[in-house]
Amino acid sequence: MPVFLLTAAVCLGVLFFSAFIPRDAIAPRMLSSARFLCEDELFGEAAEGIRSSRIDRYADSILLGIAWQFDREKPLRSVLEDSYYHLPWQNENENLLDAVERDLPANQQYLRYWHGSAAIVRMLMCALSLPQIYLWHGVLLGLLFSGLLIRLFHKRSMAAAAGLLAGAIGCACWFVPLSLEYTWVFLLLLLQLHIILSGHFPGNWEMRAPFFLVSGMITCYLDFLTCETLTLTVPVLVLLWKDREAGENLPAWKSLLGSAFYWLAGYAGMFLLKWLLAALVMGENVLPYVAGHIEERTVGSVGIGFLRELIGAPLRNVMNLFPMGWGAVGTVAGIVLAIAAVYAGYVYRKPGFSPGMIARLAAVGAVPYARYLVLANHSMLR
């Protein structure tokens, strides 16, 4: 509990103090960023005809709109209410441009998320425009990932390095810096992996439990319900590998389930805390609003029928993996590569091959697909 409360206090403090940044300090770069977002489609492709290059400027427009509306006159309320200017008949990039150009007040709240990244954006906007933030995110992601590979090569952990590299290529990581919606979780993930590789997490949970608790909390704080499972699954896979390499006595299933429990506790706990704080500060019951959106994301429809949505959510996400997202040829190549990987892994397995370990890896790998099914409505859109 002390770890949870301290982390939550720091997260809320960052939002609170970001509201005191004068609007004049960010106005020029916010204006140029709004104009930049209006130059392209809300859901355009960075590479024409490549499904996996689809960039979400809709969410970025809302995020900038929220950051713009933080108010130093009512800092706590503004960072918990997370309001922005919205007209339903306009695109969100146009709404953002109108709000900045004409200094229009917020009229639409978005309190169900923390929007912690809005605080970071507001700080960065003191010196950088949105395209420059994209550029620096790309540089930072590249440096962090290169550093991971160097550390693994130095340890002669070639299999782990190959796995991370394959995962990065599979999710077409080169498109990640082109949208703020994607970037935060990838940055957090790479920092997690550097922490894991910097020291050993003992089997008594003295470090592992708070690590996953805080990871879940910060994921909730930064993410826009986009790729949140990354900060659970990839660190768990790396820790399973490290435990096996070090001959760790901690039971592997306990490690897996315990990590998931603490991550979920932090993730869900932060959501509940946000709703509670918003209700207290705003003096109103926010649960009907929150419950309505939870129902929309879990049992709502995007207008294609329940069964098609249930099948389409995981399939659509799989088809965006590299090289599957590169047309018919890419799809065939992806299927061939998957079959070849399974075949090679089984036929050329080492003497220490463990069916139990395969089962645990499969369980971790199933997490994002469970997410696609539970949040099929949202997974069709993100």
Q: How confident is the model at residue 115 (pLDDT cuts 50, 70, 90)?
A: very high
Distance CA(35)–CA(52), nearest Å, equals 25
Where b means 16+ CB within 10 Å and e means fewer, 239-267 reads bbbbbeeeebebebeebbebbbebbebbb
Q: How confident is the model at residue 192 (pLDDT cuts 50, 70, 90)?
A: very high
Q: pLDDT tens digit string along 217-234?
A: 999 999 988 889 999 999
Radius of gyration over every alpha carbon of the chain, rounded to an integer in angstroms = 22
Average pLDDT over residues 13-30: 96
The one-letter amino acid at 304: I
Neighbours of 28 (CB within 10 A): 12
Q: Look-up: residue for tokens 């998320």? A: 113
Q: Is 82 left (phi over 0), alpha (psi -120 to 50) or beta?
A: left
Q: What percent of the chain has pLDDT over 90?
A: 46
Alpha helix (H) ranges present in the chain? 2-18, 23-37, 57-69, 75-81, 92-102, 116-124, 130-154, 158-170, 180-198, 208-222, 230-246, 252-282, 287-299, 306-318, 327-347, 355-365, 367-374, 376-381
Q: How confident is the model at residue 333 (pLDDT cuts 50, 70, 90)?
A: confident
Average pLDDT over residues 63-79: 94
Q: pLDDT tens digit string along 250-282?
A: 566 677 788 899 999 999 999 999 999 988 988
The yes-or-no verdict on residue 136 having pLDDT over 90 is yes
Give the pLDDT confidence score for residue 380 in this predicted structure: 55
Distance CA(133)–CA(223), nearest Å, equals 17
Distance CA(230)–CA(213), nearest Å, equals 14
Partner residues linked to 73 by β-bridges: none
CB 75, CB 58: distance < 8 Å: no
DSSP state, 104?
P
Q: Which residue has the higher pLDDT, 352 or 100?
A: 100
Q: pLDDT tens digit string along 282-306?
A: 887 777 776 666 655 555 555 555 5
Q: Look-up: residue for tokens 């901690």? A: 250
Find the angle CA(169)-CA(143)-CA(33) to the nearest 5 degrees.
Answer: 90
Partner residues linked to 45 by β-bridges: 54
Q: Which two tokens stand for residue 228?
A: 């949140």
Alpha-carbon torsion 7, 2, 226, 363, what sign?
positive
The one-letter amino acid at 243: D
Range in 30-39, 95-104, 119-128, 336-345 the model is least confident about: 336-345
205 burial (CB, 10 Å; 0-12 / 13-18 / 19+) is: middle
Q: Look-up: residue for tokens 């953002």? A: 96
Give the pLDDT confidence score for residue 303 in this predicted structure: 53
The upper half-sphere exposure of residue 297, i.e. CA atoms within 13 Å in the direction of its Cβ, equals 18
